[in-house]
Structure 1
Amino acid sequence: MSAPPGPSPPRLTIDRSDPVHRRLDQLAPGLTATIGLHSRRFSPKLVRSRREIAHEGEPVSGIWMLRAGWAALVRHFADGRRQIEHVLLPGDPLPFEREASYPATIVALTPVTLIDLDGPWVPDAALLDAVLQRHTMATFHHLLDATARLGRQVAIERFAHLLLELRDRLRGVGLATDTQFRMPLTQEMLADTLGLTSVHVNRTLQMMRQQQLIELAGRVVTLLLPGELAHMADYPSPSTSRVAMR
């Protein structure tokens, strides 16, 4: 991984409330017990905000998972612009395949903590390969949603869809309720995710607040009318949506 080494943090354990534990339970029920996840002590890697974690084309080494903080798959352009193609949340694996290269550059949007699940203590490498396959399919669906957002939805619809997706994914790892979650994305990051200018982002957020669709208090987002937001964004209902890991 291309991130420069930071200070050596203390080794940590992963309990049942940890986002990594919750995500693994979604991706492969029973795996945490099989590999004895909570009996291990991991050496975390810390990466500062806005630092590169892995570069596009860099070979995968280890099964790194995001334990804390937010990161993103990004594409940079020669003139300095960038597109955030997919936001990575606590509990998400970084690689898509063990014997492959990273398909996009991964950047820390906030300070992040990473842990590597790979090691001789895993009884069968195929167990983690199955996790990565399911993670890859979930990410594929998110990328399809992002294509639809950018291609056919207006700004307020894009926002509504993204906020609902983030809520559902965070709720799956115990970091959101039905109506509230912390979102550390700046207006610049939102602009790069939604294909808008920062001015348009600010204007759209103000409109959503004025229409009493959402509340913003610091980094906390409250969805005041989640049903209206889902209708506006053509967001799937819980009975038809993919599982909460999205």
Structure 2
Amino acid sequence: MLTTALRATPSATSSKSFVRRLEACGGVAAAEIAILEAALHAPETYRAGELLHPPRPGAPPFFMVSGWACLARLLDDGRRQVLAFLLPGDGVGFDLLTQSRESTSVLALTPVKVQRVRQSLLGEITGCPGVNRALAVASDQQQTRLIDQVVRLGRQTAYERCAHLLLELHGRLAEIGETQGDAFRLPVKQEVLADALGLSLVHVNRTLQQLRRDQLVEVHGGAAILKDRQALAATCEYRSGST
């Protein structure tokens, strides 16, 4: 089974996902990685649905070790807009978008493990040129994805939105070795995709079925297969460098 094979991928459970993410963003010396790891608290675990980042200024930044979370805006009537997905290896609180503020929350979508930075040692991290450069690249990528999200919600059709988001998720997971060819784990329900895409659950379901009929995407059992990435990218004007 595809989902079984994906669960067995060694990188999916590695505690070094943030190292792989930083390395994908630029050269980071081994000595700097050692300094970074020494500046982190022991891993903390959260259940799906729990808040990872309290909505208050000054909360310490952290790295996603495993699991999926999201940056979201919650409305008083219970509706939710997912602004960004947070994946294994991502740093949270290092850039303007993910810094804690009262208007947004970081919510675990699956069981999640994180490592927070010791506030007293934050200067040690920012004093490492390689880590600093990698975090700057990651911040730039996050801003690019935010622009992509605005375009998705504002101008793309449901078909284009689904295609673009799936390509983005695949590209980000591929950077840290959490894909198998064109396949990757998609451990979130369609309700979450609907909250990210500004669509109803019914509309997301119908769109994924249409993508399957067009032999572009297969989503089932907590996994996704991009059957023709080139055609999918052409459909939604996806630019692979934006991950």
Same fold (TM over 0.5): yes
The Cα of 1:28 is off from its aligned counterpart by 4.3
Aligned to 1:30: 28
Q: For the Cα contact (< 8 Å) 2:72–2:81, is it kept in 1?
A: yes
Aligned to 1:12: none
Aligned to 2:116: 116
1:171 to 150, 157, 174: 174
Aligned to 1:93: 91
Q: Report matched runs for 1:157-168 at 5 Å.
A: 157-168=160-171
Give a deviation string over 1:16-51, Cα, whole Å, max 9, x none: 983211012123412443242698696100011011
The Cα of 1:97 is off from its aligned counterpart by 4.8
1:146 maps to a residue whose letter is Q
In 2, distance between residues paired with 1:101 and 1:172? 23
Aligned to 2:63: 65
Q: Report matched runs for 1:228-239 at 5 Å.
A: 228-236=231-239, 238=240
Provide the TM-score with structure 2 as the length reference.
0.82
Aligned CA distance change for structure 1 residues 16 and 34 (closer, same or farther; 3 Å)? farther
The Cα of 1:225 is off from its aligned counterpart by 1.2
In 2, distance between residues paired with 1:120 and 1:222? 41
The Cα of 1:70 is off from its aligned counterpart by 0.3
Aligned to 1:10: none
SS of structure 2 residue aligned to 1:36: helix
Q: For the Cα contact (< 8 Å) 1:17–1:174, is it kept in 2?
A: no
The Cα of 1:131 is off from its aligned counterpart by 4.2
Structure 1 residue ranges without an equivalent (≥5) = 1-14
* Structure whose residues are more often helix by fraction: 2
The Cα of 1:129 is off from its aligned counterpart by 4.8
SS of structure 2 residue aligned to 1:185: coil
Q: Identify the structure with bigger relative contact order (alpha carbons < 8 Å, sequence gap 6+).
A: 2
Pair 1:190 & 2:193 matched: yes
SS of structure 2 residue aligned to 1:168: helix
In 2, distance between residues paired with 1:193 and 1:32? 36
In 2, distance between residues paired with 1:133 and 1:39? 18
Give a deviation string over 1:183-240, Cα, whole Å, max 9, x none: 112011000000000111111111111221112230111111111110000112x5xx
Provide the TM-score with structure 1 as the length reference.
0.81
Q: Report matched runs for 1:190-229 at 5 Å.
A: 190-229=193-232
Aligned CA distance change for structure 1 residues 32 and 142 (closer, same or farther; 3 Å)? farther
Pair 1:106 & 2:109 matched: no
SS of structure 1 residue aligned to 2:65: strand
2:174 maps to a residue whose letter is R
In 2, distance between residues paired with 1:117 and 1:147? 30
In 2, distance between residues paired with 1:166 and 1:101? 21
Aligned to 1:150: 153
1:220 maps to a residue whose letter is A
The Cα of 1:57 is off from its aligned counterpart by 3.0
Pair 1:84 & 2:82 matched: yes
1:86 maps to a residue whose letter is A
1:87 maps to a residue whose letter is F
Structure 2 residue ranges without an equivalent (≥5) = 1-12
Report the aligned-residue RMSD. 2.7
In 2, distance between residues paired with 1:147 and 1:164? 16
Q: For the Cα contact (< 8 Å) 1:50–1:107, is it kept in 2?
A: yes
In 2, distance between residues paired with 1:77 and 1:39? 37
